[in-house]
Every structure is written in structure tokens, then in C-alpha cells.
């Protein structure tokens, strides 16, 4: 059934995945279009079976009710620019968020910068600072692929768990700025080797008309929704009439969105950073006082959920997320959203995620629950088994 949560996490991927999907004049769509058979079309089938699961990954998305913390703090001899708390929007907003943080860094007059953290936000902010002429050193306890950012779904979802509905009006203008800056940057990354960023089409399936269901995930807050502010970036989703699609459900909506092939994208960012002379030091901090030992006078704190422990910021709430990857299939270039699952056709593995499930909010447990991922893969297999063949 079509839930509001489905239309938020997806429908921030229908509204925003579409929201930040394809501009009317923006660049290429998927490489290969579906083949047609009479009035309908066919799609290559995903080989969905539990023995094709290559890995199950869990992350904790750093949600803050008021939205990302991007602000300056004086800490002893150091100036710390905080840049964390992006919920499920870290990759999507990283260039815009990093741009705002860099402006705060530049206001200090710093020529050298230390960045704490090497996930999506830290690495992007470091690269932006380099391109602005600063000498940058990253301090991190782990590097890609061993950071939580690597476990994200890989979809462009700029308002996924970005704030609660109460704080949305105060965040709206800043969110729109970050979204537009990030969107523009991603257009410049299209077509690069390894396809770090690309457009995909996807299909949302429902057994009832879209927009008829408005139930929330019972144990999660009402999140802020900003998709309408950037409608000009994207095309509208297209509802396909029965008989004009290969899916078993009577209601099908086609959407277009940006997708990050996270392995190649993170490799691109790391290579760019190192090629420009960026330095990396493996180091873990347990107390803010330890930052006083660093040679840089200005630091960016991009520790994500780690800021809760390092800076005692209890406003950062973990939202658990689990994904499974299936063996890649180069012919699969379409995304899918069915009753309880989201599917992303990344080049490093077809990502299958449960959506709409409870028990994730304020849950820092990173133990994989294989049974949940196997159930999601079986649901996907059921969809594939019922699809019309060419």
C-alpha cells in the first residue's frame, strides 16, 4: 500500500527524486530505454534470490530535529566550523553544505584547514577548501570504504529526514540554497569514468491510487518536506495506465532521479583530494580538548553521528538504516519501489532496502539483521516473477 512514509523517503524521491531528478533541459536519461511490445514495454529482470546477496550493511543516519548544524564555535585556541546532522541527505546536500561551511572558514582568514571526518560531508568540504586555495589535512579514524557514508542507498534525496516539520520553515531557505548548489555540481560530474553520478528512471508500484494513503511510520516524527521549492529542477512523475507497463500492480508511476554509484564516486573524491596535495592522518578523537593539539587553527567538524559523543551533542539522533546488495547486473538500469522495498541499480551491486519499517528511530544498533534483507529480496523476487515478459 502507498504510505506517506513511502512518499516521503521515496516521494522525497518521487517528489524530490523527481524533485531533484531531471531538469527539463538537463542532460541524458538512462542509457537504454525499455523495449516495447505492442502497447506495453518490457524490462530486464533482476535476478533476485537470497544466494545472490553479496553483503548487508547498516548505518546510523545523523538526524537533528532542527536540521544540519552548520555554524562556527570558538573552542579554546581553535575555531571549529560544525557541518553535520544531515539525516539521510548527506551525499545529496554535501556540495551545498560544504559551500556554506567553507564561507565560514574563509571568514576566519585561515590558510590552513583541518577537517575531522572523511565521510561524504568531510571529504566534499575538504575538496571545496582545496579548490579555494587552502592547505587541507583530513583527520579520520576510518577512510572510504570503511565509513558509514558508504552504506547509504545512493539516491538523490535532499530532504530525507533533514528536520522535523516544526523546524522546516526556519530551515527552508538554507535547504533550498544547499540543494541548488549541490544539484548544479552534480551536473558537472555526469559522464565521468566510472559514472560516479548518473540519471536513472524508476517505477513506483501500488495496489491503490497514488496519494490516497497518509499514514506515518508510527515511531518516527513528521519530517519536513521541501520538494515544492525546487520543482523547476525536475520533471513530474508520469503515471502509466494499465496495459502500458509490465508490472503486476494496477498503479504504476515512472520517476527520474539522480543516482550515486557510491564506490566510484568516493574513489573520485579521494583521488581528486590526494592529487591536489591533500593530506590524511588516521586519528580518532575522544574529547574536544584533543583538538587543541592539532597544528591548524581552524577546523571543520564533519563527524556526523560521531558528533554526539565527541561534542556531547544529544540533539543528534541515530536513525538506523539497513541495505543489502545483490550481484551487479549491468543490464539493470532502472530503480523500483514496491510495497515495502526500494531498489537502486548501482554498479557496485543492486541495492535492496526495506522501507516503512519501524524500530529505526533513535536506534544506534549496527548489527545486520539478515532475515529482514532476505525478506526484502524475496518480495523483489515476487515482483519479478509476476512481471510480463516480452
Element (H, E) at 177: helix 168-187
H-run or E-run covering 122:
helix 120-131
The answer on 18 and 126 residing in a single domain is no
- pLDDT number for residue 17: 38
Residues 381 and 293 in one domain: no
Residue 32 has pLDDT above 90, yes or no: no
Instruction: State the chain's mean pLDDT as an integer.
Output: 90
Residue 91 in this model has a pLDDT that exceeds 80? yes
What pLDDT shows up at residue 109?
Answer: 98
User: Are both 237 and 251 inside the same structural domain?
Assistant: yes
Give tens-digit pLDDT for 282-308.
999 999 999 999 999 999 999 999 999
Q: What is the CATH number of the domain that holds 310?
A: 3.40.50.720
**Within this chain, do residues 8 and 48 fall inside the same structural domain, yes or no?**
yes
Counted domains in the chain? 2
% pLDDT > 70, the chain: 88
Asked if residue 139 and residue 74 are part of one domain, the reply reads yes
Q: What is the pLDDT of residue 37?
A: 44
Give the whole-number percent of the chain exceeding pLDDT 90.
83
The answer to whether position 347 is within a domain reads yes
Query: What cell does 78 get?
Result: 581553535
Q: Are residues 101 and 242 in the same domain?
A: no
In the numeric block, the cell 525546487 is attached to 230
Q: What does the pLDDT average to over 138-143?
A: 98
Same domain, 126 and 220: no
Rounded Cα–Cα distance for residues 160 and 196 (Å): 21
Specify whether the CB–CB gap between 179 and 96 falls below 8 A. yes
Tell whether the model's pLDDT for residue 187 goes beyond 80: yes
Residue 361 lies in a domain: yes
Looking at the structure, do residues 230 and 371 belong to the same domain, yes or no? yes
Asked if 251 and 40 count as a contact pair (C-beta separation under 8 A), the reply is: no
Distance (Å, rounded) from C-alpha 158 to C-alpha 20?
A: 8
Domain assignment present for residue 157? The answer is no
Note whether 270 and 144 are same-domain residues: yes
Residue 82 lies in a domain: yes
Range of the domain at 359: 4-63+199-260+317-386
β-partners of residue 75 are 78
Question: Is residue 179 in a domain?
Answer: no
- 3-state SS of 188-242 is CCECCCCCCEEEEEEEEEECCCCCCCCCCCCCCCCECCCHHHHHHHCCCCEEECC
Indicate if the pLDDT at residue 351 is higher than 70: yes
Query: Is residue 254 domain-shared with residue 132, that is, in the same domain?
Result: no
* Whether 35 and 47 share a structural domain: yes
The pLDDT score that the predictor gives to residue 4 is 35
| pTM, entire model | 0.89
Please tell me whether residues 80 and 134 are part of one structural domain. Answer: yes
Amino acid at each position: 500500500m502507498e504510505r506517506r512514509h513511502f512518499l516521503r523517503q521515496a516521494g522525497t524521491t518521487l517528489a524530490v527524486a523527481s524533485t531533484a531528478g531531471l531538469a527539463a533541459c538537463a542532460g541524458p536519461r538512462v542509457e537504454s530505454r525499455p523495449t516495447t511490445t505492442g502497447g506495453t514495454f518490457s524490462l530486464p529482470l533482476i535476478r533476485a534470490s537470497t544466494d545472490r546477496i553479496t553483503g548487508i550493511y547498516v548505518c546510523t543516519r545523523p538526524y537533528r530535529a532542527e536540521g544540519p548544524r552548520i555554524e562556527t564555535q570558538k573552542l579554546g585556541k581553535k575555531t571549529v566550523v560544525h557541518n553535520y546532522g544531515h539525516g539521510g541527505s548527506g551525499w545529496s546536500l554535501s556540495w551545498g553544505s560544504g559551500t556554506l561551511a567553507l564561507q565560514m572558514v574563509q571568514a576566519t582568514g585561515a590558510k590552513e584547514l583541518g577537517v575531522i571526518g572523511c565521510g561524504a560531508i568531510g571529504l566534499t568540504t575538504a575538496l571545496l577548501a582545496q579548490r579555494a586555495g587552502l592547505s587541507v589535512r583530513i583527520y579520520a579514524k576510518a577512510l572510504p570504504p570503511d565509513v558509514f557514508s558508504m552504506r547509504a542507498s545512493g539516491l538523490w534525496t535532499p530532504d530525507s529526514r533533514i528536520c522535523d516539520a516544526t523546524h522546516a520553515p526556519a530551515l527552508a531557505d538554507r535547504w533550498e540554497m544547499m540543494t541548488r548548489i549541490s544539484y548544479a555540481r552534480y551536473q558537472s560530474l555526469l559522464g565521468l569514468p566510472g559514472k560516479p553520478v548518473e540519471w536513472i528512471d524508476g517505477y513506483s508500484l501500488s495496489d491503490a491510487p497514488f496519494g490516497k494513503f497518509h499514514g506515518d511510520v508510527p515511531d518516527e516524527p513528521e519530517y519536513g518536506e521541501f520538494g515544492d521549492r525546487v520543482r523547476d529542477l525536475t520533471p513530474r512523475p508520469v503515471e502509466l495506465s494499465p496495459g502500458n507497463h509490465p508490472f503486476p500492480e494496477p498503479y504504476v508511476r515512472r520517476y527520474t532521479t539522480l543516482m550515486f554509484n557510491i564506490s566510484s564516486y568516493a574513489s573520485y573524491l579521494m583521488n581528486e583530494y590526494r592529487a591536489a596535495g591533500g593530506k590524511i592522518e588516521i586519528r580518532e578523537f575522544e574529547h574536544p580538548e584533543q583538538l587543541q593539539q592539532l597544528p591548524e587553527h581552524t577546523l571543520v567538524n564533519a563527524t556526523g553521528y560521531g558528533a554526539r559523543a565527541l561534542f556531547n551533542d544529544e540533539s543528534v539522533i541515530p536513525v538506523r538504516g539497513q541495505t543489502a546488495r545483490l550481484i551487479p547486473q549491468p543490464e539493470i538500469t532502472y530503480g523500483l519501489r514496491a510495497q515495502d522495498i526500494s531498489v537502486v541499480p548501482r554498479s557496485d551491486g543492486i541495492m535492496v532496502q526495506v522501507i516503512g519499517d519501524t524500530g529505526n528511530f533513535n536506534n544506534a544498533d549496527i548489527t545486520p539483521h539478515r532475515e529482514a534483507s532476505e525478506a526484502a529480496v524475496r518480495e523483489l523476487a515476487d515482483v519479478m516473477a509476476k512481471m510480463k515478459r516480452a
